[in-house]
Amino acid sequence: MRVKHTRSGLRIPLLNANDAFFYGPITIGNPPQTFLMDFDTGSDLTWVSCRCKANSPQCLRRNQFFCEGSYTCRDTSKFYEIVYGSGSVDGNWMADKICIGPSFSGFCTDSSQKFLCGRSVNGDLADSDGTVGLAYNFGTLGASPLRFIFAEPYCKHKMFSIWMGKSMEHRGGELTICGANPSRYTGPIYWVPILRDDPFWTIRVHRVAIDEFTIRKFIPDEECDPDRLPNIVFTLGPGLNFIFRPRDYKAFYNPTQCSWLMFGTRHGNRWSFGTSFIERFYTIFDFKHARLGFAESI
């Protein structure tokens, strides 16, 4: 994986894991230990497999961080459990240097950066070595490396951007730290303010429609002909209509087999825009101005 350092930020290639997770490299410690991590915009917490328990096979199958192998690592001995919708991780908080990309990228924290040493991994989590939290609200634990990186003078733009290619086309993705990559999108960037009092990257959806009809119109699960399915239109502001084509919200394998790429949530009237949305629209997460930017992905 070739990481590129440009004036518009650090560009990190990502691996596409079945359109569900996108993995990229980081290093931890001195000397650096390299890991392939899931970058998660829905959490500000960072964890890596470490000192795995013998009865946690999901932890043992991952690359593990060894605190003893880093002369700057510090074990706080404070236990914590991270609970996700599909699983959990627990262990002690540690502190050490974290670099996004390889250690020579320069996009690094100091050795006081906290992360969870995940000793027990449970449930249906990503197969990466751990997770880097990229949520908007850094929280009281301050466990996102971006808090430190965005405070550095070399970070000209306090933002990160994500481009994702469809796994069906055997394309990966790209994470840009401290900037955006104009070669990954076309046309203008449309900016939408986020809700500042929400810990996540939350925006207000003004309207959702299926062509001329409301979202309540039924789309059959068994319908696998993209020519017979409608577009879905998300209105995120005055004149800001984002069109989802059938191939954006369903994966078509053959004329009789397909699956949904959009799912409901347990949070009432909330929508969760995941990889299928970002594959369609290049997405910029702007911390400084508390907004999201969307452009037509290339």
Picking from 147, 100, 113, the residue whose alpha carbon sits closest to that of residue 4 is 100
Per-residue pLDDT band for 195 (boundaries 50, 70, 90) equals confident
pLDDT category of residue 258 using cuts at 50, 70 and 90: confident
pLDDT of residue 212: 40
pLDDT tens digits along 59-100: 888 899 999 999 999 999 999 999 987 789 999 999 999 999
21: pLDDT strictly greater than 80: no
Torsion of CA 174, 175, 180, 186, to 10 degrees: 30
- Predicted pLDDT of residue 287: 92
* Cα–Cα dist 112/74, whole Å: 8
The pair phi, psi for residue 83, each rounded to 5°, is: -110, 120
105, 37, 36, 293: which is closest to 181 by C-alpha? Answer: 293
pLDDT at residue 283 tops 80: yes
Transcribe 220-259 into DSSP letters.
Answer: -TT---GGGS--EEEEEETTEEEEEPHHHHEEEEETTEEE
Among 39-48, 147-156, 218-227, which stretch is predicted with the lowest mean pLDDT?
Answer: 218-227
- Note the pLDDT of residue 214: 40
DSSP tag of 179: S
Predicted confidence (pLDDT) at residue 19 exceeds the cutoff of 50: yes
> Measuring CA to CA, which residue among 30, 26, 31 is closest to residue 49?
26
Least confident range of 15-29, 152-166, 251-265 = 251-265
**234 vs 236: CA distance, rounded Å:** 6
pLDDT computed for residue 264 by the predictor:
56
Task: Report the alpha-carbon distance of residue 163 to residue 185 in Å, rounded.
Answer: 8
Q: What's the whole-number average pLDDT of the chain?
A: 83
pLDDT of residue 256: 74
Higher confidence at residue 119 or residue 212? 119
Q: How far apart are CA 179 and CA 159, in angstroms?
A: 6
For residues 205 and 227, what is the distance between their CA atoms, to the nearest angstrom?
27
Residues with Cβ within 8 Å of 163's Cβ and at least 6 positions away in sequence, in order, are: 173, 174, 176, 181, 184, 185, 278, 282, 297
Residue 53: what pLDDT? 86
- Transcribe 84-138 into DSSP letters: ETTEEEEEEEEE--EEESSGGG--B--TT-EEEEEEEEEES--SSSEEEE--SS-
- Domains of the chain (ranges; CATH) run 17-156 (2.40.70.10), 180-297 (2.40.70.10)
Residue 210's pLDDT band, with cuts at 50, 70 and 90, is low
CA neighbor of 176 nearest in space, from 8, 19, 16: 8
**Predicted local confidence at residue 213, as pLDDT:** 38
Which residues face 294 on adjacent strands? 190, 283
In the chain, the percentage of residues whose pLDDT exceeds 90 is 41
Q: Do the bridges between strand 159-164 and strand 281-286 make them parallel or antiparallel, or are there none, so unpaired?
A: antiparallel
Residue 162 pLDDT level (bands cut at 50, 70, 90): very high
Q: What is the pLDDT of residue 54?
A: 86
What's residue 248's pLDDT? 77
Q: For the chain, give the longest Cα–Cα distance.
A: 62
pLDDT at 11 over 90: yes
Cα separation, 248 vs 280, in Å, equals 7
Confidence check: pLDDT of 1 > 70 = no
The beta strands (E) that lie in 134-184 are given as: 159-164, 173-177
Tell me, what's the pLDDT at 289?
A: 94
- Residue 187 pLDDT > 50: yes
Three-state secondary-structure class, residue 280: helix
